[in-house]
Amino acid sequence: MTLKSFFEGARDGRLTAVRCTACGGLAIPPKEFCPACGKRGWQAAPLSGSGTIASYTVIRVAPRKFAPEAPYALAQVRLAEGVSILGRIVDVPLDRLAIGLAVKFHPLVRGDQTGIAFGPA
C-alpha cells in the first residue's frame, strides 16, 4: 500500500492497515519489515475505524498555519484491532474529552489534503 492509496482510501472514509502474511501482526501506517517477526510480506487490512482515546490534549498555542483553528483536540486513538494512531478529535466538546472515550474514524478533508481524525462513535 502506498501513501497515496492510503490517503485516497481515507478520503473515502476507509482506514486501512497492513497485516503481516507471516505472523499476522498489524501496522498502521505501513512499514517495510514487520516489527514483530522481521519478515517483509504484507496485505492490506481494512480497519473498522472504531477505537477509544488512549491519551489526548487540546492545543491552544498552535503553529502559525493552524492558529486560526485553535483550540483543537489531538488524541492517540487505540483502534479496535489493537493498533494506535494519532488523530484530530472533531465534533466532540472539548470538556467531554476523556481517556477511554469511544470514537470513530472521520476523514479530515481540506482541499486536496486528507488528515486522520475521529468523531463521536
Partner 1 sequence: MRRVAVIGVGVTKFGRHDRSSGELFAEAAVEALADAELEPSAIQALYYGNVVGGETEKQLHCGPQAASILGITGVPTTRFETACASSHAAFRHAVMEVGAGISDIVMVGGGERVLNVPTEDSTEYFAYASDAIWEQPLGLTFPGVFALVARAHMHKHGTTEEQMAAVAVKNHRHGTLNPKAQFRKEITLEQVMTSAKVADPLKLYDCCPFSDGGAAVILASEDVARSRKRAVWVLGSSAASDWMLIGDKPDLSRVLATERAAAAAYRQAGLGPQDVDVVELHDCFTIAEIVATEGLGLFEPGMGGVAAEKGWTSLGGKVPVNPSGGLKAKGHPIGATGAAQVAEIVTQLRGEAGPRQVGGAKTGLVHTLGGNTATVVVSVLGRE
Candidate residues 1, 44, 45, 59; the one interacting with partner 1 per rule CB under 8 A: 59
The interface with partner 1 within residues 96-115 (CB under 8 A) comprises: 99, 108, 113, 115
List alpha helices for 19-94, DSSP H.
none
56, 99 Cβ separation under 8 angstroms: yes
The radius of gyration of the chain from alpha carbons, rounded to an integer in Å, stands at: 15
State the minimum distance, in angstroms, from the CB of residue 112 to partner 1. 12
Candidate residues 55, 80, 91, 121; the one interacting with partner 1 per rule CB under 8 A: 55
Residue 66 is a binding residue for partner 1 (CB under 8 A) = yes
The residue range among 8-16, 18-26, 42-50, 68-76 that interacts with partner 1, by the rule CB under 8 A, is: 68-76
User: What is the C-alpha separation between 73 and 10, in angstroms, rounded?
Assistant: 19
118: Cβ contacts below 8 Å, ≥ 6 apart: 51, 75, 77, 87, 88, 89, 90, 103, 104, 105, 106
Candidate residues 1, 22, 45, 54; the one interacting with partner 1 per rule CB under 8 A: 54
Joined grid coordinates for residue 110: 481540506
Taking the least distance from each CB to partner 1, the nearer of 85 and 92 is: 85
> Which residue ranges make up the site for partner 1 (CB under 8 A)?
3, 28-29, 54-67, 69-70, 72, 74-77, 83-88, 99, 108, 113, 115-117
